[in-house]
Amino acid sequence: MSSKKKFLLRLDPDLYQDLEKWAADEFRSVNAQIEFILRSSVSKHRNLRQSKDKKKTEGNLEDPL
């Protein structure tokens, strides 16, 4: 089993309540829901960053004719 980093997270009670409802709708624990949201967000950010980096690289390879 992989180990996971443990840390304290303070949330606004209303936000936590919303997360609880969302997690229940998707049959997850609140912890699993938060991890799912974070993974999705990080993945999206990586994809955007890679697209930008790729465009920069492609722009530098164009022939200056």
At 17, is the pLDDT very low, low, confident or very high (cuts 50, 70, 90)? very high
User: What is the rounded CA–CA span in Å between residue 16 and residue 39?
Assistant: 18
At 55, is the pLDDT very low, low, confident or very high (cuts 50, 70, 90)? confident
Domain boundaries of the chain, sorted by first residue: 13-59
With a cut of 70, say whether residue 64 has pLDDT above it. no
Angle between helices 13-25 and 30-61 (to 10 degrees): 90
Residue-wise pLDDT for 28-51, tens only, equals 999 999 999 999 999 999 888 888
